[in-house]
Amino acid sequence: MKIGIFGLGTVGQGLVEIIRQKEGDIAIAAVVDRSFARKQQVLKEIPASADRNLILKDPSIDTVVELMGGIDDALYVVRSALEHGKNVVTANKALLAEHGYALFQFAEAQGKFICFEAAVAGAIPIIRNIETIFRNERITRLMGIINGTTNYILTRMRKDGMSYGDVLEAAQKQGLAEADPTLDVGGYDAQQKLALLISLITGKWVEAKNIPVRGITELSSQDVVWAERFHNRIRLVADYCFQNDNHYMHVTPALVNEQNVLYDIEYENNAILFQGEYSGEHLFMGKGAGKFPTAFSVYSDLKHLQSGSARWSYQQGQGYLALGDIADTSSAFYLRLRVKDQPGVLAAIAQILGNNALSIASVHQDHSAVAAGEVDIVIHTHAAKRSRFYKGLGEIQALKNIVLHQIYLPVLT
Amino acid sequence: MKIGIFGLGTVGQGLVEIIRQKEGDIAIAAVVDRSFARKQQVLKEIPASADRNLILKDPSIDTVVELMGGIDDALYVVRSALEHGKNVVTANKALLAEHGYALFQFAEAQGKFICFEAAVAGAIPIIRNIETIFRNERITRLMGIINGTTNYILTRMRKDGMSYGDVLEAAQKQGLAEADPTLDVGGYDAQQKLALLISLITGKWVEAKNIPVRGITELSSQDVVWAERFHNRIRLVADYCFQNDNHYMHVTPALVNEQNVLYDIEYENNAILFQGEYSGEHLFMGKGAGKFPTAFSVYSDLKHLQSGSARWSYQQGQGYLALGDIADTSSAFYLRLRVKDQPGVLAAIAQILGNNALSIASVHQDHSAVAAGEVDIVIHTHAAKRSRFYKGLGEIQALKNIVLHQIYLPVLT
C-alpha cells in the first residue's frame, strides 16, 4: 500500500509517527502541505510539496489520506483522488456532511472507497461498528457526546466554577478550542457528526443542516450550579430516536442525571450510547480528539483498505431521510426564569404552564447571585410534548414586564 | 445460508425469534435438542430431533450453531461439524477455554470458521472489535467486568444492604445464577473469558487455568459498607496489563473508586475498559447476558459468515502465551482484619507492615456490627509490590492469637 497524505497538521504528523513505528507494509509515498518546507523534521526522507499533483498524478499511490480540513480544497482533492482511481481516507466531517451524498455515490461508481472513522468521535470505532455489527439490527435510540470541546468547557465550568467565557479562553490557549469556536460551541460540529451517524444507521442520507441545533453559548454558571443541585450535569447531546415510524433528531444542551452513563463522561472524552432492538443498551466511550487517537482511526481505515475489509457506507439511490418534527416528541424540561422580584410573578407563570397542561415537578426560587430586585425561578416540568412546552414558553416570554430572561433545557431520559 | 441449531434453551429460542422476525436469508434447517418434543410452540415448522445426525449428516446445512453448553457433547458436535465442512457459531466459553487451541487449529485446517462473539460479554461486540480494530495496536491494559452474575450480586449487596447468601438465593430464583453457582461466584467464568480475550489480543493462546483467580464468596456485607465509606465499590475484575515485556493477568474482586468508569457498571451489565497504545482509553459497555442480547451476538456472527467477513481468530503455530507472575506487579490494598479488642494489636500489625516496607495510607477501626471483644481494623496501603504485601499478610495471619480473620482487596487504578 502506497499512500499520499494531504495536510501535515497534528493528526497528519501522528499518522506519520504511527506508520513509522509499526514498520509495516504501508509506505508514505508523498506529503502535500502548504508549509511543508517548515516540517522537514517530521518529513525526513518523505517527498513533499505544496503542489497537489505530487500525489494526485502519481499512479503508484493507491490511497489518499485527506487531513487538510476545510471544504473547497478538500472536495477537489477527494474528487480528484477518486477520479484517479485512489481510495480515500478522511477525517473531514464538514466535507462529508456537506458533499457526502454525491461523494459516496461517485466513489461507488469509481469502485473506490471513502473511509472516515476519524471523522466522528475520534478514536472510538463507531463507524466500523455501525457498518459491521449494528447494521444487523434497528437502532431505536442514540445519545452521544460527540464534541469534545463543548464537553471540556461544560466540565470545567462545573468543576472549576468558571464562567463560559473564561473556560473558552483557557481552552483556546490549550488548543482545545478554535480561534473561531462557532462550529463547536454552536453545536454545528455535533450536528454534522450526528448526520453522518444517522445516515449510516438508516442507510438514507441525512442533511446536516436540517437537524435542529442549539449550542452551549447561552448557558451560564448559574445553570451549571442549578443542575448540580438536582444531581444533574449539563451535556451537549446529539440525540436520535425512532418512534412511531419517524426519525427524530436534534443537537441540544440537556440535563443528564446521575443514572445516565453520559453523566460521567468528562472533559474532551466522547461517548455514544445506543439502544439496539435486540441487543439492548450499548455504550462506546473513548478519546474524542487528540493527535494519536485520531491518527489511529485513520490508520485503522488504512489497514481495512489493505486487508480488503473496507465497505461502501452508502449505496446509491437510497435517497434522503425524512426527519420527523422534534416538537412532536416529549421531554421533561428545566426552565430558569430571571424575573422581577414582585408579587404575582410566580402565579402568572404557573397559570401559563397550567393553561398549556404543563405539569410542574418542582419549583425553586433563589436570591443568590442575582441582581437587586431580581430573582431566579427554576421550574422542572414533567414530560410533555415539546410543542406544548414551546407554546407555553412563548407565552411566558411575552410577560416582558416581569420576565427578564429565560433559559430552558430538556432533561434527558 | 442454512443453519442447524444445537440446544433450544433461552438463547436458542431468542435466535429463532430474531431470525424469524428479520425475514432474511438465513434458513433454520433443523434443531437438535434433548427435549425438542416439549418445544413445538417455538419450533413450529422447523424439523427437530434429539439425534445429532439430523444436523451433522445433512450436507445442505452449512453452519452449525452450538448453544448446548457443557463441554464433552459440545466438543463432539463442534468437531463433527467442522469435519463435515460446516462453519460453527458458539456461545460456549468453557468449551473454547478448554479446547479452543486445538479446535481453532482444526477449523483453520478445514478452511472453516469458529465464531464466538456471544461467548464473551453477551451483546458487547468485543470479539469483533479486537479482531478488526484493536488488532492494529498494542493493548497495554484491559480491565473488565465480564461476569454479570457476580456484578448483580455485588450491586444488590450494596444497594439493598443484603448479605451475599441472601442475594445469591434471590439471584438463583430469578434465573440470574445457576443452582451450582461456583463457575460464576468462584471467578472461573471470568477466568475463561479473560483467557479468550487475551489470546485474541496477543495472538498467542492463554490457558485459562493458568490465570490466578479469586471469587467473591469470601466477601461480606461489611466490606461492601467499608468500600462505600471510602467512595469505592467492589467489582469482580478481569485485569490484564502489559508491563516490562510481560503479560500479567488475574481475576480478582477489587475496590474501584468513583473516578473509574467501572464504578458505575451496575447489576448484570458488562463493561470492558482498555488502553490502546495510540488510541487511548476505550470503554465498551452493554448487556452481559440475556435472551436477546446474547442471541443477537450469535446472529451477528451468522451475518458475518454470510457476508464473508468472518475471520480466523487464531493462526496455527503461534503457540502459548507465557504469563508473568502477578505477584511481581504493584497495587494498593484494602485490608480488613477482625482482631481481639486488646492493647498492642495495632502495634503488632503496624510493625509487620513497616518491616515489609508497606506504607499505610489510612487506618480505621470500628466497633459496629462486630461481636463483643472483637473489633475490625481497616487498613489502606499505598501501592507496593504484591509479593511484598502477600509476605506481610502471611506474617499477620500468623498472629493467630490476636488476628481472627482477614480479607484483602487490591485497589484498582
pLDDT tens for A133-181 read 888 899 999 999 999 999 999 999 999 999 999 999 999 998 888 999 9
Average pLDDT for residues A379-402, to the nearest whole number? 96
Q: What pLDDT is stored for residue A372 in this prediction?
A: 86
CA distance A344 to A361: 20
B136 and A CB contact within 8 Å: yes
Give B279 to chain A, closest Cα distance, Å: 4
Identify the active-site residue in B86, B93, B112, B193. B193
CA distance A290 to A349: 46
Active site residue A287: no
Select from B259, B254, B192, B177 the least CA-distant residue to B223: B254
Domain residue spans in chain A?
Answer: 2-115, 127-286, 329-411
Q: What pLDDT is stored for residue B316 in this prediction?
A: 57
Question: Which amino acid type is present at position B268?
Answer: E
Select from A4, A197, A189 the least CA-distant residue to A85: A4
Q: What is the pLDDT of residues A65-108, one digit of tens each?
A: 999 999 999 999 999 999 999 999 999 999 999 999 999 999 99
- Using the beta-carbon criterion (under 8 Å), do B136 and A280 form an inter-chain contact? no
Q: Is the pLDDT of residue A316 over 80?
A: no
Output the nine-digit C-alpha cell for B374: 472483637
List alpha helices for A68-163, DSSP H. Answer: 72-83, 93-110, 126-132, 148-159
Cβ-Cβ contacts under 8 Å, A264 against chain B: 261, 264
Q: What pLDDT is stored for residue A371 in this prediction?
A: 84
The gap between the terminal CA atoms of chain B, to the nearest Å, is 46
Q: Is residue B390 a contact partner of residue B329, using CB atoms and an 8 Å limit?
A: no
Q: Is the pLDDT of residue B300 over 60?
A: yes
pLDDT classification of A311: cutoffs 50, 70, 90: confident
Q: What pLDDT is stored for residue B26 in this prediction?
A: 97
Q: What pLDDT is stored for residue A58 in this prediction?
A: 98
Q: What pLDDT is stored for residue B315 in this prediction?
A: 61
Cβ-Cβ contacts under 8 Å, B283 against chain A: 271, 283-286
- The CATH code that applies to domain B329-411 is 3.30.70.260
Average pLDDT for residues A342-361, to the nearest whole number? 96
Which span out of A366-370, B205-209, B366-370 was modeled with the highest average pLDDT?
Answer: B205-209
Q: Is the pLDDT of residue B278 over 70?
A: yes
Average pLDDT for residues B251-262, to the nearest whole number? 94
Which H/E stretch holds residue A355? helix A345-355
Contacts of A190 (CB under 8 A, 6+ apart): A144, A146, A147, A150, A213, A236, A238, A251
Query: Chain A: residue nearest B302 by CA?
Result: A136
- Using the beta-carbon criterion (under 8 Å), do A18 and B292 form an inter-chain contact? no
Give A233 to chain B, closest Cα distance, Å: 16
Select from B220, B155, B154, B150 the least CA-distant residue to B186: B150
Q: Is the pLDDT of residue A11 over 90?
A: yes
What share of chain A has pLDDT > 90, as a percent? 89
CA distance A26 to A399: 65
A192 and B CB contact within 8 Å: no
Q: What pLDDT is stored for residue B370 in this prediction?
A: 78
Question: Residues B29, B34, B36, B42: is their CA dihedral positive or negative?
Answer: negative
Scan for cell 466540565, then name that residue: A155
b/e burial code for range A163-195 (CB count within 10 A of at least 16 → b): ebeebbebbeeeebbeeebebbbbbbbbbbbbb
CA distance B405 to B338: 5
Q: What pLDDT is stored for residue B289 in this prediction?
A: 87
| Bridge partners (DSSP) listed for residue A17 | none
Helix/strand/coil (H/E/C) assignment for every residue in B271-298? EEEEEECCCEEEEEEEECCCHHHHHHHH
Give B111 to chain A, closest Cα distance, Å: 18
Q: What is the pLDDT of residues B312-346, one digit of tens each?
A: 766 656 899 999 999 999 999 999 999 999 999 99
Q: Is B2-115 a CATH 1.10.3720.10 domain?
A: no
- Using the beta-carbon criterion (under 8 Å), do B284 and A279 form an inter-chain contact? no
Q: What pLDDT is stored for residue B369 in this prediction?
A: 62
Q: What is the pLDDT of residues B204-222, one digit of tens each?
A: 999 999 999 999 999 999 9
Q: Is the pLDDT of residue A207 over 70?
A: yes
Q: What pLDDT is stored for residue B13 in this prediction?
A: 97
pLDDT classification of B103: cutoffs 50, 70, 90: very high
Contacts of A349 (CB under 8 A, 6+ apart): A337, A339, A377, A379, A396, A399, A403
Q: Is the pLDDT of residue B29 over 80?
A: yes
Q: What pLDDT is stored for residue B24 in this prediction?
A: 85
A155 and B CB contact within 8 Å: no
Q: What pLDDT is stored for residue B371 in this prediction?
A: 84
What share of chain B has pLDDT > 70, as a percent? 98
DSSP string, A372-404: TTEEEEEEEEEEEEHHHHHHHHHHHHT-TTTEE
Report the 10 Å Cβ neighbour count for A288: 28
- Using the beta-carbon criterion (under 8 Å), do A299 and B136 form an inter-chain contact? yes
Q: Is residue B160 a contact partner of residue B185, using CB atoms and an 8 Å limit?
A: no
CATH superfamily, with its number, for domain B127-286 = Dihydrodipicolinate Reductase; domain 2 (3.30.360.10)
Q: Is the pLDDT of residue A368 over 90?
A: no
Q: What is the pLDDT of residues A20-56, one digit of tens each?
A: 999 889 999 999 999 999 999 999 999 999 999 999 9
Q: Is the pLDDT of residue A308 over 70?
A: yes
Q: Is residue B189 a contact partner of residue B183, using CB atoms and an 8 Å limit?
A: yes
Helix/strand/coil (H/E/C) assignment for every residue in A183-220? HHHCCHHHHHHHHHHHHHHHCCECCHHHCCECCCCCCC
Helix (H, G, I), strand (E, B) or coil at B46: coil
The reply to whether B2-115 and B127-286 are identical in fold is no
Q: What pLDDT is stored for residue B318 in this prediction?
A: 82
Query: Chain B: residue nearest A130 by CA?
Result: B125
Average pLDDT for residues B137-144, to the nearest whole number? 96
- Could you tell me the pTM of the whole model? 0.95
Helix (H, G, I), strand (E, B) or coil at B141: strand
| Residue B284 vs residues A351, B124, B150, B264, B369: alpha-carbon distances, Å | 47, 7, 18, 13, 38
Count A/B contacts: CB-CB distance under 8 Å: 106
Identify the active-site residue in A173, A193, A303, A340. A193
- Using the beta-carbon criterion (under 8 Å), do B279 and A261 form an inter-chain contact? no
